């Protein structure tokens, strides 16, 4: 299989559930990869159609699609349009074949996605779909839609932090890798601010005073947990089995001093 650090294969994709999920928890890492010369892609599976208390589903979808495209432009990412809807992101054949087609088309060596444990099913199902889509990238007998040829390449899957940094049962989730996002925080903030429709929705539905402040509070908390960075994003690396012939960490290698392994996590205490 090709070397995942090969200069010609420096491609990363962020796969999230809803418009703004990437900007909340993954965009800083994407920006740093882009600065390091990587090609970056963004995909939210759902259209975000339920994300309004005053607009209908179709109008909400159109608004959120435009906002997501604007955010991807700010990040410098290739934007892939959604193909599902809120609360309809299921771990099923239709979603899996569609997502696996995109993974084969992009052929990333880094996949960034949700935590397997989170506060809502769309996030957790997206995480499972991203893992299996990456796993099936080279299986010629697994049909994808639209049809794409299988790819023979190593890939590493990284799971981000859940919103609130806790799972659905309120237990703390500890990252295995901290990424220093201090230098790109302002650009990350601008990308998140592009999702203007979400301030009203989150204020009403979840009692959040400001989605921008919430993002910054989480990045500050992760920075403090790192013991080194001011702002950070956190990641847990999926097992390499089925994804590469041996243990690889292309994200840590690509980011160098901007990435810090959590020794406690690696020692099994996380």
150 assigned to some structural domain: yes
Average the pLDDT over each of 3-12, 66-75, 233-242, 258-267 and give the range with the smallest value. 3-12
Mean pLDDT within 206-227 = 86
Q: Could you tell me the CA-to-CA distances from 25 to 74, 99, 188, 193 in Å, in that order?
A: 16, 20, 10, 14
Q: Is the pLDDT of residue 236 over 70?
A: yes
2 assigned to some structural domain: no
Mean pLDDT within 13-18 = 98
Model-level pTM?
0.93
101 assigned to some structural domain: yes
Q: Which stretches within the chain are classed as H helix?
A: 21-25, 27-35, 57-75, 93-106, 121-135, 185-193, 197-206, 211-226, 250-255, 263-266
**CA–CA dist 133, 101 (Å, integer):** 8
Mean pLDDT within 192-213 = 75
Model confidence pLDDT, tens digit, residues 41-57: 999 999 999 988 788 99
105 assigned to some structural domain: yes
For residue 1, what pLDDT is reported?
Answer: 36
For residue 263, what pLDDT is reported?
Answer: 86
CB 104 within 8 A of CB 151: yes
Q: Is the pLDDT of residue 155 over 60?
A: yes
Give the domain CATH number at 100. Answer: 3.40.50.10320
**CA–CA dist 250, 109 (Å, integer):** 8
Q: Which among 71, 62, 54, 20 is positioned nearest to 208, based on CA atoms?
A: 20
CB 115 within 8 A of CB 147: no
Model confidence pLDDT, tens digit, residues 157-182: 999 999 999 999 999 999 999 999 99
Average the pLDDT over each of 13-27, 44-58, 122-136, 137-151 and give the range with the smallest value. 44-58
* Beta-carbon contacts of residue 45 (< 8 Å; ≥ 6 apart): 15, 16, 17, 18, 82, 83, 84, 89, 95, 99, 122, 126, 129
CB 25 within 8 A of CB 17: no
Model confidence pLDDT, tens digit, residues 54-77: 889 999 999 999 999 999 999 999
Q: Is the pLDDT of residue 154 over 90?
A: yes
Q: Is the pLDDT of residue 95 over 80?
A: yes
In order, the DSSP letters of 47-102 are --TT--SSS-HHHHHHHHHHHHHHHHHHHT-EEE---B-TT---SSHHHHHHHHHH
Q: Supply the mean pLDDT for the chain.
A: 92
Residue numbers of the domain that contains 113? 9-266
1 assigned to some structural domain: no
149 assigned to some structural domain: yes
Number of domains in the chain: 1
Q: Which position has the higher pLDDT, 102 or 265?
A: 102
49 assigned to some structural domain: yes
């Amino acid at each position: 299989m090709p070397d995942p650090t090969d200069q010609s294969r420096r491609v990363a994709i962020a796969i999230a559930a809803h418009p703004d999920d990437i900007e909340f928890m993954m965009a800083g890492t994407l920006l740093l990869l882009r600065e390091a010369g990587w090609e970056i892609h963004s995909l939210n599976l759902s259209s975000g159609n339920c994300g309004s208390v005053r607009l209908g589903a179709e109008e909400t979808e159109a608004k959120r699609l435009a906002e997501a495209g604007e955010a991807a432009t700010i990040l410098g990412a290739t934007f892939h349009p959604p193909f599902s809807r809120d609360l309809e992101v299921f771990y099923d054949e239709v979603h899996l074949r569609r997502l696996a087609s995109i993974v084969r088309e992009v052929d990333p060596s880094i996949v960034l996605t949700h935590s397997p444990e989170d506060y809502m099913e769309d996030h957790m199902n997206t995480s499972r779909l991203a893992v299996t889509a990456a796993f099936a990238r080279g299986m010629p007998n697994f049909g994808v839609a639209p049809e794409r040829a299988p790819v023979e390449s190593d890939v590493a899957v990284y799971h981000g932090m859940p919103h609130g940094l806790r799972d659905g049962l309120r237990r703390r989730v500890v990252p295995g890798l901290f990424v220093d996002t201090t230098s790109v925080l302002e650009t990350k903030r601008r990308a998140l601010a592009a999702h203007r429709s979400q301030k009203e929705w989150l204020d009403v539905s979840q009692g959040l005073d400001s989605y921008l402040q919430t993002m910054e509070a989480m990045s500050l908390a992760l920075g403090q947990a790192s013991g080194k960075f001011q702002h950070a994003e956190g990641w847990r690396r999926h097992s390499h089995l089925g994804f590469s012939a041996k243990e690889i960490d292309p994200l840590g290698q690509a980011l160098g001093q901007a990435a810090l392994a959590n020794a406690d996590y690696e020692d099994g205490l996380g």
